Amino acid sequence: MNIDATAPVTKFNQEYFHATLTKIAQLASATEHSTLGPVQEFEMLRNCGALEVVLPGGALDFNKPDMPALLKLLKDVGKANLSVGRIFEGHINTLYLIHLYASTQQQEKWYDGVKEKGDLFGIWNTQGKDGIQVYSSSDSFTISGNKTFCSGASLVSKALITGNIETPERAGWQMLIVDMEKIGKENIDAESWKPLGMKASGSYQINFTGYTFQGSDFLGQPGIYLNQPHFSGGAIRFAAVQLGGAEAIMEGTIDYLKTLNRTDDPFQQLRISNICSEITSGRLWLKQSGKYYDEWVDDDTRKDDLIAFANMTRVNIEESCLKIMEESNRCVGARGLMAPYSLERIFRDLSFYLRQPAPDATRLKIAEFFIQNPGGFHD
């Protein structure tokens, strides 16, 4: 059955989704060098219903938790293109926070934007010295400061940003939703993004100074962005995207060796065995972490267990990705890491994407958990 991945459908459709991912993978090399970023890719994701898959009534409706399936979906997008996966994961993350903390009226407004206009959401927490401050005036609020690593900066319709606010009514680290149509192009610093990989994610610095908004754009109360176990537990989502990149390396490595008729070489077979074992391990980590997330996220007695398992999932998938890249390097050699082979780009993207904040501190937290709970997860 031939499916046109550019044709819109009324709701999420698996066949159209997988056809879309095939097309996204085919576009990845060209998209990396496009000044526009993955515009076409997200238009196709809109058309197959992927942007609204977690909304009420959707295939992965947050009201009917199925985290293992959501993690697989994120993994599949990351396998097609890690930059697209990073932006898409931010969209899902934002919709989850809206699901958790928005009022019914806010949910209706922001969900309708996704369903009716195809709004793409982003989430940007990182900032430098000139970070976000929120000030109040007589009937509105004003922002000053910058955010960095704003993935999808030129694509996102609405962005969840965080910043400090000090008013009689609100004090602390506050979430709010920004309408990116009101942010001028001159406020987006594309020159700030010169990375090793993940170029197509367009994670630019944005100056929000002068942006004004109403109190109805605040999301939840100050401080809840860091609520546990949602904050640390969410690491399993970006780990899923990363594993998708590793799967692309696995398949690219095997395909490359087949073109050279080298899959019968016992040394290559040993390396392929190691790569496939690491991929399988990663898949099992994702499946189990998704299961635990659904079971434990609303159970205060298992909060620490969920955080620990999410941390373990994150660091173990990181280690697996690093091992896969090392084995693949040996398999394909220098020639296999040159264009036009896609491995050259995927290696750069995954190497950069794996550099998530505080990896060593995450490992120390795992150790602390098991020191205090020697029998952790035995039940």
- Indicate the residue type of 70: L
Looking up tokens 């515009």 gives 39
Checking if the pLDDT of 327 tops 70, the result is: yes
Kindly list the strands in the beta sheet with 188-189, ordered across the sheet, starting from the edge strand earlier in the chain: 146-150, 204-207, 188-189
- Per-residue pLDDT band for 7 (boundaries 50, 70, 90) equals low
Please state the rounded mean pLDDT for residues 84-107: 98
Cis preceding-peptide flag for 8 (omega within 30 of 0) = no
Please state the rounded mean pLDDT for residues 222-238: 97
Please state the rounded mean pLDDT for residues 348-356: 97
Cα(124)–Cα(169) distance, integer angstroms: 24
Given this model, what pLDDT does residue 138 score? 78
Looking up tokens 């499916």 gives 3
Given this model, what pLDDT does residue 2 score? 52
Predicted confidence (pLDDT) per residue in 183-229, tens digit: 999 999 999 999 999 999 999 999 999 999 999 999 999 999 999 99
Predicted confidence (pLDDT) per residue in 268-312, tens digit: 999 999 999 999 999 999 999 999 999 999 999 999 999 999 999
What's the predicted TM-score (pTM) here?
0.95
Checking if the pLDDT of 27 tops 80, the result is: yes
Average pLDDT, the chain: 95
CATH architecture of 123-224: Beta Barrel (2.40)
Please state the rounded mean pLDDT for residues 74-100: 98
- Per-residue pLDDT band for 6 (boundaries 50, 70, 90) equals low
Closest CA to 100 of 74, 81, 123: 123
Given this model, what pLDDT does residue 249 score? 98
The residues near 276 (Cβ < 8 Å, ≥ 6 apart) are: 250
Given this model, what pLDDT does residue 1 score? 41
What separation in angstroms does the CA of 113 have from each of 39, 101, 104, 118, 120? 18, 17, 14, 6, 9
Checking if the pLDDT of 8 tops 80, the result is: no
Tokens of 346: 């995927």
Pick the CATH number of 14-120 from 3.60.10.10, 1.10.540.10, 3.30.1330.60, 3.40.50.2000: 1.10.540.10
- Per-residue pLDDT band for 339 (boundaries 50, 70, 90) equals confident
Assign a CATH topology to domain 230-372. Answer: Butyryl-CoA Dehydrogenase, subunit A; domain 3 (1.20.140)
Closest CA to 224 of 190, 262, 277, 173: 173
Tokens of 269: 């077979």
Given this model, what pLDDT does residue 13 score? 82
DSSP category for residue 57: T
What separation in angstroms does the CA of 36 have from each of 21, 143, 152, 181? 19, 27, 10, 16
Q: What does the domain layout of the chain look like in residue ranges? A: 14-120, 123-224, 230-372
Given this model, what pLDDT does residue 139 score? 84
Given this model, what pLDDT does residue 377 score? 79
